[in-house]
């Protein structure tokens, strides 16, 4: 019996774990971005190596270093009814330390820039009391056991994290006073970790039958390279325009470090999950001597990325995961007001839209309800203070708003289970910009 149960749990936990291994549309931003939600046409701090690389030549001559940290607080909750009982699971924990480093050297009409930051992922899903997935799958485990052997799920948990560490190398050159260009590449190191477990207990045969626990604990790592190209144009002293393109990064994730009771995939197993190409555009306009408005638009070409296929429970056919997810975009609008020459306040908002071709099918394997991806609105505010000619401090705070949503799960296909999703997220960021 245990061999059969072990096999069922292995298959089901594989489905669960695969859902949380990637959270690549969540990225960490600099403190300055948190303040205004717009940076694609900025020219004031070293963090623009990630937002407006061609604008780096507009910095003053010398070394420029930007240090930022984000503290992320997410509060998703998933409520549903299953087998005659009502459930509600919420995420616990905070990502308190998510640091970023940006650096640039500017001389005359050229600059060279690099850094270390998170371009994708950058979040942890932590469900210490279980989740929608572990509840539904745990019930299937009970059905696989000898009748009466185990009567309930006595413990369940799920935790996953994803980080795409990025190291760019960008060269920028000013063609003239109005036009500059940038070109370079970026090294990506993807690190995904999944932990999950389910315990079956309360045997009808009493304490003579011990509880049965199945756990998963493994990592996935991938390395890839991509190109970056950008243009910055400033036709007048008031108007600035920035655009840059980041190519797709091919990533073959390899399974390592299996330490749970179940190895979902042997060490060395590979699966494909590219970072999609993205086109980033921005404009800023100085309305008055004190007030500046900025707008950003980013488009993510997810359909052009290669992700492992999804096997549909509806028809048993395989579908492209990236095409099923569809492309997505973000649009931002921000304002900066110069209270004094040394003190600025910022306010901005960003809208994110996911254009699914088949949301249900995508959630079957990717993201599910633990790291749900659907349209949201972000609002940020903050301030910057120039301590001296060499040091500037940035403080920012933001909140992300999602509408309450009910999604019908097909995890237990052909049955559909309505899952009500409520979510809210917060971020606090602090940054230090240094000029040497």
pLDDT number for residue 367: 45
Nearest to 279 by CA among 295, 294, 300: 300
Low-confidence ranges of the chain (pLDDT < 70): 1-28, 143-148, 363-372, 411-414
Distance CA 48, CA 168 (A): 12
The domain locations on the chain are 2-435
Quickly list H helices, 155-295.
none
pLDDT number for residue 27: 64
pLDDT number for residue 143: 63
pLDDT number for residue 112: 98
CB neighbours of 339 closer than 8 A, spacing ≥ 6?
A: 290, 345
Give the number of other Cβ atoms within 10 Å of residue 1's Cβ: 10
Quickly list H helices, 270-310.
none
Q: Find the helix packing angle between 132-144 and 2-20, rounded to 10°.
A: 160
Q: What is the CA radius of gyration of the chain?
A: 24
User: In angstroms, how far is CA 195 from the centroid of its own chain?
Assistant: 18
Distance CA 35, CA 125 (A): 25
- 90: its two tokens: 């919420």
Nearest to 296 by CA among 327, 329, 331: 331
pLDDT number for residue 18: 42
Nearest to 426 by CA among 384, 397, 402: 397
Quickly list H helices, 272-431.
321-325, 359-365
- Which secondary-structure segment (H or E) carries 31? helix 31-36
Distances (CA, A) of 93 to 76, 90, 208, 369: 11, 10, 37, 17
Give the number of other Cβ atoms within 10 Å of residue 148's Cβ: 11
SS3 367: coil
ω into 275 cis (within 30 of 0) = no
- 2-435: CATH number: 2.40.160.60
Q: Are 170 and 112 in contact (CB under 8 A)?
A: yes
| Rounded (5°) CA angle 41-298-230 | 50
pLDDT number for residue 33: 95
pLDDT number for residue 133: 79
| Exposure letters 250-267 (e unless 16+ CB within 10 A, then b) | bbbbebeebebbbebbee
- Which secondary-structure segment (H or E) carries 382? strand 376-386
Distance CA 42, CA 294 (A): 9
Q: How many CA atoms lie within 13 A of 380 on its CB side?
A: 31
Distances (CA, A) of 250 to 120, 277, 307: 14, 10, 10
């Amino acid at each position: 019996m245990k061999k059969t149960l072990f096999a069922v749990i292995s298959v089901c936990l594989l489905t669960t774990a695969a859902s949380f291994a990637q959270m690549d549309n969540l990225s960490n931003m600099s403190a300055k971005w948190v303040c205004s939600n717009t940076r694609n046409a900025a020219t004031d701090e070293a963090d623009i190596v990630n937002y407006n690389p061609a604008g780096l030549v507009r910095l003053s001559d010398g070394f420029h270093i930007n240090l930022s940290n984000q503290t992320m607080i997410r509060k998703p909750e998933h409520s549903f009814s299953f087998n005659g009982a009502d459930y509600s699971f919420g995420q616990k924990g905070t990502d308190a330390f998510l640091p970023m480093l940006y650096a640039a050297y500017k001389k005359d009409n050229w600059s060279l820039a690099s850094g270390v930051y998170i371009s994708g992922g950058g979040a942890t899903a932590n469900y210490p009391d279980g989740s929608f997935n572990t509840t539904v799958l745990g019930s299937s485990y009970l059905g696989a056991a000898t009748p009466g052997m185990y009567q309930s799920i006595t413990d369940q948990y799920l935790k996953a994290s994803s980080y795409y560490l990025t190291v760019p190398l960008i060269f920028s050159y000013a063609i003239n006073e109005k036009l500059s260009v940038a070109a370079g590449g970026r090294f990506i190191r993807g690190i995904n970790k999944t932990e999950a477990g389910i315990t079956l207990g309360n045997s009808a045969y009493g304490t003579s039958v011990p509880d049965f626990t199945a756990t998963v604990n493994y990592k996935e790592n991938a390395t890839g390279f991509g190109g970056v190209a950008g243009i910055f144009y400033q036709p007048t002293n008031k108007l600035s325009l920035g655009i840059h393109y980041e190519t797709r990064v091919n990533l073959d994730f390899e399974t390592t470090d299996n330490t749970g009771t179940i190895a979902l995939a042997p060490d060395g197993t590979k699966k494909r999950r590219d970072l999609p190409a993205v086109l980033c555009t921005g404009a800023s306009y100085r309305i008055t001597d004190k007030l500046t408005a900025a707008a950003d638009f980013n488009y993510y070409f997810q359909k052009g990325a290669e992700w492992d296929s999804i096997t549909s429970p509806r028809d048993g056919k395989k579908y492209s995961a990236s095409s099923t997810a569809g492309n997505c975009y973000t649009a931002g609008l921000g304002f900066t007001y110069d209270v004094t020459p040394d003190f600025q306040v910022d306010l901005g908002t960003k809208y994110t839209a996911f254009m699914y071709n088949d949301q249900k099918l995508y959630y079957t394997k990717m993201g599910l309800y633990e790291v749900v991806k659907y349209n949201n609105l972000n609002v940020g505010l903050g301030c910057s203070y120039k301590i001296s000619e060499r040091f500037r401090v940035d403080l920012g705070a933001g909140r992300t708003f999602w509408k309450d949503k009910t999604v019908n799960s097909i995890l237990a296909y052909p049955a559909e289970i309505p899952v009500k999703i409520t979510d809210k997220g917060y971020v606090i960021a602090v940054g230090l910009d240094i000029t040497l």
